Chain A
Amino acid sequence: MQTRRDFLKVGASSVGCAYVAAQTPMLFGAEATAEPHFFLQIIIPGGVDPSYFFDARPLEMTAAKLIQNYSGTEAILYTGSNGQQTWRSQLMNPLMPYMNKISVINGVHMVAAFDGHPQNMNFLLTGNAFGGEGQLPHFNMTGKKLPLDYLEVGGGFFGADLQNAAGSARLSVNAARNLSEKFRNAPALAAENSVLRQMRKRTANLQNNTSGLAQASWLLDQSLDQTPQVNQLLKNINLAETKGAETMLQSISMVGELFRGGLARSAMYVFDQFRTGAFIDTHSIESAKNQPKVYGDIANDLASVMKHLSETPFDDKRSLFDVTTVMVCSEFARTMRQSASFISFESTGTDHNQYSNSFLIGGKGIRGGLVLGATDMESIAACQKEAISGAHLAVDRENLMAIGKPFNVATATVSSDRPAEYKAEHYLNCASVANALYDAFGCDKKFYRSMERNGPPVPSLKALLA
């Protein structure tokens, strides 16, 4: 997490980076796709509590011992450009200047059968609780393939089993600086290099036969096409030296530089809660009490990233934000409190809630300013037993969770229905958001997620698309 001093220091260096970015020639980003499109996924692992984000609750509910709120500040009613309202935490104030560009999605159901971190993180990233193909490499299968499917930055641990991650690279700012220095001191690797030419002949030979090496040889050949340009890009990249753990802004500044250079289609920033001490898996009272600081810091970090992306040019017409779809997410949300049979309200932490998740999404291809989806138990009256649906009670007997309300994906409206039994198709599911992202990137329909094995794709949340 950043201190105010760090923020100012990095802010100043990012202005420098922005200047360098403007001077650095775009090597092959422009030719990679007619219309450049990148994806930045900011993952906050551990299970974010949306009541400190954009799905807060009035303080009177805390007084009534329904939901913990260690910030002690009143929630503010937030109205999206589509007229839908939600309560937001005051901790999100730093993000407000950018909310016309960002949409809030609340009440997203994850994998109903599991409340564990890895199953829900797998579901978020792959559409399958047990892992599978991640979404980010699929974005690099439209248009010309960029050298890397995605960069993984931030250093955090997210615990998903991604089976198509071989085209990704984990990169820190220190590593990128180290690499740049090596290439500056090494002889130029030119396209006419004799060894590269010889290798091309051998890969071409392999591509013409039916061996198992044919596909990888094709990839090798593609890589050799781009190797001299990457060599040049890395020689020219200018990154500020980091002392200690790199900040989110430093990581994202590097990602922006590498997007501009056309090195990767996507980036996954993973918060490192162990390094920063910002634990959001707040089962304990100690970590729960620390939430106002943690979420305040996260909001400052996200605001600094939004500022950077908005103010850093991608080319002479567009900012980095204009060409990048940005998503902030976690594997699930949290309960409003813990069971009274387990702990008193005064000492409560929170547990996992896979029946609600919240995302912030904005940037290229996305309509900003919307509020989509909602959770129940939004007021004292809504927490009365008679107001709670049978479906809710079926999955949450003690009424500890706010769960996503029934949602019509086609009309993007929250339904007032109170279904008697829980059926995943009644709700806004993570798969519908993932499919909207596939739409935004123009991906092949074969990647679209479904709710069951070999089932039809779930409807895409098209209201999210610009």
Chain B
Amino acid sequence: MLQKNFPFLLIIVLTIAIVACGKKKSHDDESVPPIALNLTGEGANSMRGYYAINNILQERLLADDAKLDLSVYFESPTAEEQIFGGSLVDLLGVYKGDGLNSSLRGAQPNALNMTLWFLTLDGLARDLTKVCETGQAGGDLKLNVAAQNALRGVCAFPEGDSMQTATLRSLWDAAMGFDAPEEEFTAWQEYVRSEEFNYMTAKEAIPQMLMAVWYSPYFLLRN
């Protein structure tokens, strides 16, 4: 009986498996507000926005009970600024609306938000690099084990195994996840092994490695 129906059962099992995999949400999907589903015409041209990027990096780099607040790298608004305006978060792509309609504002790539993202991610990269100096990331960031190991792997830059593919792959995976195709990893690996990094110390090289991961269309843009 079982043997007779095996092809049929196999098809059912495979179908269930495919549907289940298709429905599984990635962390990145969850970080984009669901209201985006009601919007048209902006997704193709926009970056993910401040809160999505913040959540993605928090999930990839920090321990489960830790929170990331990227705004510490570009502002410390006073109480007055919080009341009367002055938050720069708006410039990095946020949802604004009236409760009925909502749209992503400030997320289209422009020179202003690209400049601010650079300031922000550079600050984070430098805090992460402090793992190599003190064993702890700066800014009270509590890293998860995978991120810690990935960073420690390149601390010996350019010596030891720090430039080995497996070591670089760990850092890439920790920072980029599965957002980019393999050719992007290859291009990044070539870049960090290039003469641009000659004569750099680990303290100089690691932030630049991380910035080259994050300053990528695959990381910043909605996909």
Contacts and interface: CB of A to CB of B under 8 A. Distances in A.
Do A and B truly interact?
Answer: yes
Contact of B84 (A196, A198, A245): A245
B191 A198 contact: yes
B96 interface: yes
B87 interface: yes
B216 A168 contact: no
A219 to B, nearest CB: 4
B196 to A, nearest CB: 5
Most buried by A among B41, B77, B84: B84
Given A169-B90, A217-B221, A195 B113 contact: no
B183 to A, nearest CB: 8
B44 A175 contact: no
Interface string A161-194: 1111111111110110111001100100100001
A205 B217 CA distance: 10
A189 B118 contact: yes
A170 B105 contact: yes
B85 A155 contact: yes
Contacts of B215: 195-196, 198-199
A439 B84 CA distance: 37
Contacts of B208: 194-195
A174 B106 contact: no
Given A175-B91, A246-B85, A263 B112 contact: yes
Nearest to B45: A216
Interface string B201-214: 00000001001100
Interface in B69-114: 74-75, 77, 80-81, 84-88, 90-91, 93, 96, 98, 100-101, 103-114
Q: Classify chain B: how many residues form its interface, as a range.
A: 35 or more
Contacts of A290: none
A408 interface: no
Nearest to B123: A186
B116 interface: yes
B88 A230 contact: no
Given A164-B41, A213-B223, A219 B108 contact: yes
Q: Classify chain A: how many residues form its interface, as a range.
A: 35 or more
A41 interface: no
Contact of B217 (A162, A179, A217): A217
A165 B105 contact: yes
A195 B211 contact: yes
Interface stretch (A220-228, A292-300, A412-420): A220-228
B105 A169 contact: yes
A179 B116 contact: yes
A90 interface: no
A182 B74 contact: yes
Contact of B109 (A155, A161, A205, A219): A219
B115 interface: yes
A456 interface: no
Contacts of A203: 217
A216 B109 CA distance: 7
A169 B113 contact: yes
Nearest to A164: B41
Interface string A137-174: 00000000001110010010101111111111111101
Interface string A402-424: 00000000000000000000000
Contact of B86 (A178, A183, A201): A178
Nearest to B188: A198
A159 B98 contact: yes
A213 B218 CA distance: 8
Contact of A182 (B104, B119, B187): B119
B42 interface: yes
B107 A166 contact: yes
Contact of B115 (A177, A201, A213, A231): A231
A160 B107 CA distance: 18
B90 A212 contact: no
Given A174-B86, A213-B218, A163 B40 contact: yes
Contacts of B12: none
Given A166-B108, A175-B88, A157 B218 contact: no
B150 interface: no
B91 A171 contact: yes
Given A183-B119, A194-B196, A133 B41 contact: yes
Contacts of A222: 109
Given A172-B86, A201-B187, A226 B103 contact: no
B46 interface: yes
Contacts of A189: 115, 118
Most buried by A among B98, B115, B220: B115
A174 B85 contact: yes
Given A161-B101, A202-B217, A203-B217, 9 more contacts: A147-B112, A155-B84, A163-B41, A166-B106, A170-B105, A178-B75, A217-B221, A223-B111, A227-B115
26 contacts: A118-B98, A161-B101, A163-B40, A164-B41, A165-B103, A165-B105, A166-B106, A172-B86, A174-B77, A174-B84, A175-B85, A177-B86, A178-B81, A179-B116, A182-B75, A182-B119, A183-B115, A199-B215, A215-B44, A216-B47, A227-B118, A230-B111, A230-B112, A244-B80, A246-B84, A275-B84
List the 10 closest A-B pairs by CB distance, nearest first. A174-B86, A172-B85, A226-B111, A166-B108, A161-B101, A230-B111, A167-B108, A147-B111, A219-B109, A147-B110
